[in-house]
């Protein structure tokens, strides 16, 4: 019996004479016991490693072959008046399929395994958390999968899933972010900033929550947001609803809330590279400049009572420091950078002190 003949049989490309030859070969039991043992061992080894889905696939293949042999067997019996026991057919079905289909099964098993690995990989990506950081001295824009847009201010970062799932679209913010939320009333957009949740549906708002700050600030441009306090056990409770034009400060110590209205531009002008100060203490001015230009400030006690009202756009750090010295009796001293152990240099340090 030639292997090519069996292959043609399985592809339904044999003549009536060749069909008789195949079925007689099955009945004659030509294989040696050694070949049968090897085939059986290979098949059993495969069965131990195959998954339920893969076994179902291969079983379906064998069922089709078995059905074909049964049909051809009945046709032959009808023509020749002979009877071939079904047990012979089933037994040799396994042997024939094992020899001819092992290469095919190997490829199929590999393909299904690769498909499973890719599926697991992409499932991991779907549930994975991404993080974007805007380093000190730079800003960036993040596009989320739902169509929302987030502007990150200097030294800020956001964590978010690649694709939103569940009942909410939740992100975590450290620093300052300006949000343009895609409208979806069935799935609220939630910004977790420290111990505060800012919940919206389709809204434009700004959140500032830098580490070390005593206040989490939210400014609503349009739409509506709900503020929720996050408890120590992870639960949240509503503490207020904001309307357009409102600026709310949530004080971490004591949980007090302060609200002002109007002057929204003051809090969101940074997305266009502008800084607006209105009676702003020098400590806060220095803090904003520190993030914007990636420098450190040392503000001496004798100048901490000074405040500034100014609009800045595209000015360099040296120009801004000149304005400070003109407006108030303050001297700005730049300390030399220090070389650190790894060969890098420390950040620029600027000392603000009273002019003598």
Contacts of 68 (CB under 8 A, 6+ apart): 10, 12
Check whether 84 has a pLDDT greater than 50: no
Domain end marker among 93, 127, 161: 127
Check whether 282 has a pLDDT greater than 70: yes
Domain end marker among 224, 244, 265: 265
CB 22 within 8 A of CB 7: no
Query: What pLDDT, on the 0 to 100 scale, is given for residue 326?
Result: 93
* Rg from Cα positions in the chain: 37
Distance between CA atoms of 330 and 313, rounded to whole angstroms? 22
**What does the mean pLDDT of the chain come to?**
79
Total number of domains constituting the chain: 3
- Both 191 and 239 in one domain: the answer is yes
- What is the domain range of residue 39? 3-127
- Both 75 and 105 in one domain: the answer is yes
Distance between CA atoms of 80 and 92, rounded to whole angstroms? 21
- Both 260 and 286 in one domain: the answer is no
With cut-offs at 50, 70 and 90, classify the pLDDT of residue 347: confident
Query: What pLDDT, on the 0 to 100 scale, is given for residue 69?
Result: 54
- Both 261 and 278 in one domain: the answer is no
pLDDT in tens, 149-185: 999 999 999 999 989 988 999 999 999 999 999 999 9
CB 244 within 8 A of CB 228: no
pTM over the 0.75 mark: no
CB 214 within 8 A of CB 250: no
Spell out the long-range contacts of 279-285 with Cβ–Cβ below 8 A and sequence spacing 24 or more: 279/307, 279/308, 279/309, 280/307, 280/308, 280/309, 281/305, 281/306, 281/307, 282/306, 282/307, 282/308, 282/324, 282/328, 282/330, 282/352, 285/324
Spell out the long-range contacts of 328-331 with Cβ–Cβ below 8 A and sequence spacing 24 or more: 328/282, 328/303, 329/354, 329/355, 330/282, 330/303, 330/306, 330/354, 330/355, 331/355, 331/356
Pull the structure tokens for residue 292: 């914007």
- Both 250 and 196 in one domain: the answer is yes
pLDDT in tens, 232-245: 887 888 889 999 99
Check whether 336 has a pLDDT greater than 90: no
């Amino acid at each position: 019996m030639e292997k090519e003949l069996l292959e043609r049989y399985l592809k339904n490309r044999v003549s009536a004479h060749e069909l008789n030859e195949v079925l007689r070969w099955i009945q004659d039991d030509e294989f040696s016991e050694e070949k049968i043992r090897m085939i059986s061992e290979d098949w059993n080894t495969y069965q131990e490693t195959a998954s339920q889905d893969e076994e179902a696939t291969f079983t379906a293949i064998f069922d089709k072959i078995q059905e074909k042999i049964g049909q051809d067997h009945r046709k032959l019996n009808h023509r020749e008046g002979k009877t071939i026991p079904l047990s012979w057919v089933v037994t040799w079905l396994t042997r024939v399929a094992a020899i001819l289909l092992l290469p095919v099964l190997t490829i199929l098993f590999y393909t299904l395994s690769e498909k499973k690995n890719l599926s697991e990989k992409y499932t991991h990506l779907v549930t994975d958390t991404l993080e974007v950081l805007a380093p000190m001295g730079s800003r960036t824009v993040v596009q989320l999968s739902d169509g929302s847009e987030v502007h990150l201010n200097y030294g800020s970062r956001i964590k978010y899933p690649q694709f939103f799932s569940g009942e909410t679209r939740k992100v975590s913010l450290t620093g300052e972010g300006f949000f343009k939320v895609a409208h979806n009333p069935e799935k609220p957009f939630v910004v977790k900033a420290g111990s505060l949740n800012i919940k919206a549906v389709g809204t434009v708002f700004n959140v500032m929550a830098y580490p070390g700050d005593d206040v989490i600030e939210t400014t609503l441009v349009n739409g509506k947001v709900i503020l929720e306090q996050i408890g120590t056990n992870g639960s949240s409770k509503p503490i207020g609803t904001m309307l357009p034009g409102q600026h709310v400060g949530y004080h971490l110590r004591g949980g007090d809330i302060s609200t002002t209205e109007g002057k929204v531009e003051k809090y969101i002008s940074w997305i266009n590279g502008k800084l607006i100060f209105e009676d702003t203490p020098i400590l806060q001015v220095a803090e904003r400049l520190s993030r914007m230009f990636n420098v450190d400030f040392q503000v001496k006690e004798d100048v901490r009572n000074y405040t500034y009202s100014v609009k800045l756009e595209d000015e360099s750090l040296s120009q801004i420091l000149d304005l400070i010295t003109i407006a108030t009796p303050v001297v700005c001293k730049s300390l030399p950078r220090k070389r650190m152990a790894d060969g890098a240099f420390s950040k620029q340090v600027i000392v603000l002190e009273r002019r003598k």
